[in-house]
Amino acid sequence: MKPYKYYAGLTSQVGFCATPLRLDSYNRCQFSCEYCFASTRQGYGRNERLQIGNPTSLLNRLSRVFEGKISSALDELISHRVPFQLGGMADPFSRIETDKRVTLEYLKILKEYDYPVIVSTKSTKIVDREYLDVITESNIYVRFSITVVDPKLQAKIDRGCPPLEEIAVAAKELHTQGIPVCFRFQPIIPGHEQYFKDYLAVAYESNVKHISAEFLKCPIDANKKFGKSLKVILDDNPIQRYKDLGALKQGREYILPITYRAPVLAAMAKETRGKGITFGFADNDLLLHSDGNACCAASNLYLRDSNYFTANIVSLAKEKSIGERLYFSDFLAGWVPTRAISTYLNSKSRIAVSDSTQPEWLSYLQEMWVGKLGVFSPNYFDGIEITNEHDEHGLPVFIKTHSKIAELVNLSCTSTHPHNRVAEGL
């Protein structure tokens, strides 16, 4: 078992995510979810040799950074108190934690610095007494991931994970301790959307503050790597099932069309907000419609003394009103890390920086802005359209528009909603 060299870094979604700092206790997960995102992506998975994180390294880094010694882009983001996402690649509470207790040590260190952290897990171990003693009064926000599927099938899809009933008990306990909880309904299995109401009712009764929701993505190797029960649900041929629903291939995944996803998610958002719970659209192209200003988790509403990485496309668009134009030069008005980011990106995301007169991050953003880094140019996101205009540097100009999804259910695209339990102080 070797040390996990890349236990901390930036997520691949840094170009449109306000919380791109990843922190992992282990390089792989010991749950056996049948859709396992990690095992269907290159470079990670259940078959990788187990590596463990280094709490001492984290402690040394935080100590150094808050003494003013900054040596990397990661350090810059930490110095700005951008929240860590603990469990960005692998669940921090799978079985190995009982023995190695790396997550427990991370949580102690983060509490020492009152550092903001979003914990993502499918486990209820976080409410075991030794963990609860640490996280009480910590600067923490807990996000439980739950598959939206016929409840009778959940145990077969989320193999090895606690049932919803146990997660609900854990959520109530965290609420009692003053710790905000999010239910992340991910993935939503197509054809099982109607069960969302059942899961939402459990969330409401468990005093959950926020719901985020995202449909299942179908990787190109899904027919081989999806589990047996999930393949049965998807007609024993997940890829063909997705194609039949109009899915298009994006990179290594098939994504359901927005015409399928948007009406369903908009209705979920309306019902969730009607119960006084904030809502996040976790599908990337719908991020602009999420409550809060920190991507789908709305963590800016629930964490204290934290800042967010706003030098990204979604954050820029959220600051604009309908009809306002988005210029690349708008990024120059905000904070941008000055040190290199390329070492924190995987090989498929890295760029050859040709303009040494500006920070590397701006070069990365510029490549994304003009569509050279896959699909994630500004007009990929619902509510942003490209114009025929160009700025003085020849870069395209975009405009924030009335969104089709917002019009569909009369949703507002504002950052927060007045009738939620946060505003009411509950």
Domain that holds residue 147: 2-301
pTM: 0.91
Question: Are both 332 and 292 inside the same structural domain?
Answer: no
Question: Are both 13 and 59 inside the same structural domain?
Answer: yes
**pLDDT number for residue 407:** 67
**pLDDT number for residue 29:** 81
DSSP string for residues in 197-265: HHHHHHHHHTT--EEEEEEPPEETTHHHHS-HHHHHHTTT-HHHHHHHTT-EEETTEEE--HHHHHHHH
Question: Are both 219 and 78 inside the same structural domain?
Answer: yes
**pLDDT number for residue 38:** 58
Question: Are both 290 and 374 inside the same structural domain?
Answer: no
Q: Within a domain: residue 311?
A: no
Q: Within a domain: residue 314?
A: no
Q: Within a domain: residue 423?
A: no
Q: Within a domain: residue 416?
A: no
Q: Within a domain: residue 410?
A: no
Question: Are both 343 and 234 inside the same structural domain?
Answer: no
**pLDDT number for residue 155:** 93
Q: Within a domain: residue 162?
A: yes
Question: Are both 188 and 272 inside the same structural domain?
Answer: yes
The Cα–Cα gap between 348 and 365 comes to: 15
282 within 8 A of 7, measured Cβ to Cβ: no
Question: Are both 140 and 272 inside the same structural domain?
Answer: yes
21 within 8 A of 143, measured Cβ to Cβ: no
**pLDDT number for residue 418:** 35
Question: Are both 290 and 352 inside the same structural domain?
Answer: no
Q: Within a domain: residue 313?
A: no
Question: Are both 293 and 152 inside the same structural domain?
Answer: yes
Domain total of the chain: 2
Q: Within a domain: residue 149?
A: yes
Question: Are both 257 and 338 inside the same structural domain?
Answer: no
117 class by beta-carbon count within 10 Å (0-12 exposed, 13-18 middle, 19+ buried): buried
The Cα–Cα gap between 398 and 52 comes to: 44
Question: Are both 69 and 209 inside the same structural domain?
Answer: yes
Q: Residue 67 maps to which CATH number? A: 3.20.20.70
Per-residue pLDDT of the chain (426 residues; tens, 9 = 90+): 678 888 999 988 899 999 999 999 998 887 888 998 655 444 444 456 889 999 999 999 999 999 999 999 999 999 999 999 999 889 999 889 999 999 999 999 999 999 999 999 999 999 999 999 999 999 999 999 999 999 999 999 998 899 999 999 999 999 999 999 999 999 999 999 999 999 999 999 999 999 999 999 999 999 999 999 999 999 999 999 999 999 999 989 999 999 999 999 999 999 999 999 999 999 999 999 999 988 899 999 999 999 999 999 999 999 999 999 999 999 999 999 999 887 776 544 445 555 567 899 999 999 999 999 888 999 999 999 999 999 999 999 999 998 766 666 554 444 343 334 433 322
Determine the 3-state secondary structure of 26 from DSSP: strand
Question: Are both 127 and 57 inside the same structural domain?
Answer: yes
